[in-house]
Amino acid sequence: MSHGATLTLAHSPDADDLVMWWPLTGMLAPDGAPLPGADGRPAVDCPGLRFETLAADIHTLNRRAIERHDLDVTAISAYTYPFVREHYRITRCAASFGDGYGPKLVVARDSPIMCGACVRGQRPRIAVPGDRTTAFLALSVLLGGPFEHVVMPFEAIAPAVAAGEVGAGLLIHEAQLTYAELGLRQVVDLGEWWKRETSLPLPLGLNVVRRDLDDRFGAGTLASVARALHASVAHARRHPEQCRGVLLARVGERPEWADASLVERYLGMYVNGMTEDMGDLGRTSLRRLLGDASARGLCPPPGPIDTI
C-alpha cells in the first residue's frame, strides 16, 4: 500500500453513522474544531490512510453510487447493492439490520388507513426517503407492486404527513421513534413484518468500498481500509460517552439528540453486534432479501454477497 492515501468516506447525517466514524476523523464539532477536552486527532491508528467525510442523505448517496460510483467508501441502502456490485464490495462492518423492527409506514392519527390492505385499497400518495432504499423495496413487496410515491429528504417526511401534504410516509432513522409527537400513527413496521415472514432481520443500510483501491493505491489497501473501518466501529461501541459528546455538539442541527434515552435506544437498534460484524446471519439475510427482489424483477441478480 502506498503511503498517504486520502479516501472519501460518505455517510448519512444520522446518529449511527456519525457515531461509527468519528474515531477515524477525531471528535470534531460541525465547524471542524475539536470538541472541548478532545485533541481533534483520530482515535484509531490507520497508518497510511486518511479519511475525509462527506455527509448526504441516503437517496443522494444511492444515486451517486449507481450513476458515478466515485466515492471510495460510502453508505448505501441494501437495495442499491445489486446495481453497484461491479464497482463496490460490502464491508462486514457498519451495516444496519432491523431485527424485528425497522422502517415504519405512518399516517395521521385520524386517517382511515389502518393496515397494509387499506393502503392497497385506498392507494394514498406516500412520501419515501428514496426509490433505492430498502424501506422502499420492502414496502413495494408488502404492497405487491408499484405505488404512488414522492421522494423527500428523510427528515421532511413526518412533517409532510402531519401537514396533510401526503397520505402516508415511510420513516427511517430517528423519525422511527419520534413520529407520535407529531400526531402520527403506525400502520406497519416493515422490520417486524419481514421477521414474521422470514424469521430473519431486515437488511437496511450497507457500507461499501470501491473494488479498485488496490489498483489505485497499492496492494493491500482494500484490506487495510476494511480493518480501519472495523476498528472505528469497534472503538465507538466501546466508548459510548464520547459518542454522546459528538452528538450533543450537533444538537443545534438535530434537537432530538438532546434526549439521552432516545439516542440510547436508537443506537442500540443500529449500532450493535451486527453493525460491528454482520456475520453469517447478515449475509443470509441479504441473500434472501435481494434474491427475492431479483425474482420479482425489482433489481438485478445480486450475485455472491461479497464481504470484506
Report the alpha-carbon distance of residue 240 to residue 260 in Å, rounded.
Answer: 11
Alpha helix ranges (H) inside the chain: 15-25, 58-67, 81-84, 116-122, 134-143, 154-162, 175-178, 190-198, 213-217, 221-238, 240-248, 260-270, 273-276, 279-295
Residues composing the chain: 308
SS3 content of the chain, % helix, strand, coil (to 5): 45, 20, 35
Beta strands 104-108; 168-171: pairing state: antiparallel
Task: Cell numbers for 162, please give them.
Answer: 402531519
Lateral strand order in the sheet of 168-171: 149-151, 126-128, 168-171, 104-108, 184-189
Could you say which of 11, 59, 149, 173 is catalytic? 173
SS3 (DSSP) at 6? strand
Is 87 part of the annotated catalytic residue set?
Answer: no
Task: Cell numbers for 214, please give them.
Answer: 488496490
Cross-strand pairs, 106: 169, 186
Active-site residue set = 173
